[in-house]
Amino acid sequence: MTNFVTVSQMVKDNELKVYNDEALMDGKKITTSDISRPGIELTGYFDYYPSERIQLFGQTESAYSRSMTENNRYKVMLELCREDTPTLLISRNIQPSKELLKAASEHNVPVIGSELPTTRLSSMITEYLDERLAPRESIHGVLVDVYGIGILLTGHSGIGKSETALELVKRGHRLIADDRVDVYQRDEKTIVGEAPKILNHLLEIRGIGIIDVMNLFGAGAVRSQSEIQLIINLENWSADKNYDRIGTLEDKRTFFDVDVPQITVPVKVGRNISIIIEVAAMNYRAKKMGYDATKKFEDNLGLLIKENEEKTKNDGEGK
């Protein structure tokens, strides 16, 4: 789990500008995705000031501060800039006042900004921090994008997950992560997976070694991350086990607070696992669009049973 994001990393990732000494960003850590817009604080009320949050200045805050005297403005800015204040963020390319810059520099608080409107900037930074600060889990598996559906392949080591991913890439699909997948919860309904940095775009094939998928197949063969929408567990075929043949057995795997549907695909000689995975992706999408082949089969079966019952009844009455 990532406990913090550095201000310098946030500035780099979001292409923000720095208004005072960039050295002030060294060691500054952001530990919460909550962003505060100092409104009542500008009037001098600091009894419940959330100083650990990013302090965001928009047009309203900037206009109000300009209406203050230089002395009062400096005093308020000193109160805003505390030891645990990670940074002051200014939207719309608004030039910070000299009092703000002076107070921030005296208390080692970086002042950064963006040309974006305040609401958009707040949403962008909040989403960025939610992602970076989210609890994470590293799992064994392969994550691929098949027809726009994020599919996590799981199974025992040596079952053929990486080889299946390679064939899917050859068929025009995209690799997100091989061997280890870092997963985190983006929101109440979404689990996202990505590769650890050391394994980014790399795939291990036994007998060949490590290959760089992006280098061999191009940028269109990889993705940096993907929502995990379906889990396909590969396991060796067993004659003693009954596998789902209709699609009525519903399984799931829970990551954090989110349930992800899971199906089991038996592996044996002669089965083309890549094509099966492609069909599973298309079938998942069809279900999301409201078409369920299993339900159609059950409805057809029900109609057939009803027709046979009526035919038997009519035959009985005709005797």
Segment 281-288 mean pLDDT: 88
| Annotated binding residue 157 | yes
pLDDT at 249: 60
Domain boundary among 114, 133, 152: 133
| Annotated binding residue 162 | yes
Does 177 have pLDDT greater than 90? yes
Domain with 192 in it: 136-295
Contacts 24+ apart (CB under 8 A), 63-68: 65/97, 65/100, 66/97, 68/42
pLDDT at 1: 47
> Residue 285 catalytic?
no
Domain co-membership, 281 together with 162: yes
> Residue 245 catalytic?
yes
Q: Which listed residue (21, 130, 179, 292) is catalytic?
A: 179
User: Are residues 113 and 7 in contact, defined by beta-carbon separation less than 8 angstroms?
Assistant: no
Alpha carbons 144 and 228: distance in angstroms, whole number: 9
* The pair of three-digit structure tokens given for residue 220, joined into one six-digit string: 């269109």
Does 220 have pLDDT greater than 80? yes
Residue 131 or residue 115, greater confidence: 115
pLDDT digits (tens, 9 = 90+) for 180-195: 999 998 888 899 999 9
Q: Give residue 86's identity as a one-letter amino acid code.
A: P
> Residue 171 catalytic?
no
Is residue 310 assigned to a domain? no
Q: What is the CATH classification number for the domain harbouring 52?
A: 3.40.1390.20
| Residues linked to residue 150 through DSSP beta bridges, in sequence order | 145
Segment 277-302 mean pLDDT: 78
Summary mean pLDDT of the chain: 89
Is residue 281 assigned to a domain? yes
Domain co-membership, 50 together with 76: yes
Torsion angles phi and psi, residue 88, rounded to 5: -105, 125
Is residue 307 assigned to a domain? no
